[in-house]
Every structure is written in C-alpha cells, then in structure tokens.
C-alpha cells in the first residue's frame, strides 16, 4: 500500500492528483497518515505512530484507518 509517486501533497493537508486533475483536502491526522504512506511505512507502524501520539483507542483507529485508506483507493491516490 503506497502513495502514487506523482501525488503532490503539502503540510497543510492539500493533495493534488495530476493524473486526474483532482484536488483534495485532508485534516491533521490525514496529513500525518499521508506523510507516513509517502515514507512507505507499513500499516502497523502507522497505527503505532498515531496511537502513541493521539488520544485514541487502537481498535477505533484501525476502523477509521481502514475507512480512510478505502477512500484513498477510491480517489486513486494509492497505487
């Protein structure tokens, strides 16, 4: 699960897909996930990193991450 190479991102949560011309905005946690995906971090590391930093139960975050990643796939942001 990797971010497509041509996807442009910003630290403020702006995402641009030059392949489709679509722009997206994401929130703070979304930006962090995108940045971890860019570094090719596996899903377990993403979960570990976010749960260490934010006040969230691991099961809750796994559910939310699944949902978020499925949206990234729908928007053809992931490879």
Partner 1 sequence: MGKIRYERPIIQRMNTGFMNKFGTRTEFEPVTNIEGVSVKSLINQYGSPLFVISEKQIRRNYQNATRIFKTRYPKIQFAWSYKTNYMNAVCQVFHQEGAWAEVVSGFEYEKALGNRVPGNKIIFNGPDKTDEQLIAAARNNSLIHIDHYDELYSLIRLSEENNLRPRVAVRVNMDTGIYPKWDRFGFNFENGQAWNAITRIINSENLELVGLHCHIGTFMLSPLAYATATSKLCELTWSIKEKFNKTLQYLDLGGGFPSMNTLKGAYLPGSDTVPSIDQFADAITDVILGYGFKQGDLPLLILESGRALIDDAGYLLGTVIATKRLSDGRRATILDFGVNTLFTSFWYDHKVSPVESFGKHTEEMVLYGPLCMNIDIVRESITMPLLEKGNHLVVHKVGAYNMSQWMQFITLRPNIVLIDNENNTHVIRKAETLEYLELNEQVPEHLKQNSLK
Quick count: other Cβ atoms within 10 Å of Cβ 34?
20
What angle do the packed helices 43-53 and 28-38 form, to 10 degrees?
A: 140
- CA 58 to the chain's CA centroid: 17
Q: Which two tokens stand for residue 45?
A: 């590391």
78 binds partner 1 per the rule CB under 8 A: no
User: Measured from the CB atom, is 43 or 75 closer to partner 1?
Assistant: 75
68 binds partner 1 per the rule CB under 8 A: yes
User: Measured from the CB atom, is 43 or 64 closer to partner 1?
Assistant: 64
- Out of 26, 36, 37, 47, name the contact with partner 1 by CB under 8 A: 26
58 binds partner 1 per the rule CB under 8 A: no
């Amino acid at each position: 699960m990797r971010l497509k190479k041509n996807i442009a991102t910003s630290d403020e949560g702006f995402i641009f897909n030059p392949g489709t011309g679509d722009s997206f905005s994401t929130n703070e946690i979304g930006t962090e996930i995108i940045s971890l995906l860019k570094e090719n971090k596996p899903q377990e590391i993403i979960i570990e990193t976010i749960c260490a930093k934010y006040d969230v139960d691991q099961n809750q975050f796994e559910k939310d991450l699944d949902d978020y990643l499925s949206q990234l796939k729908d928007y053809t942001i992931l490879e």
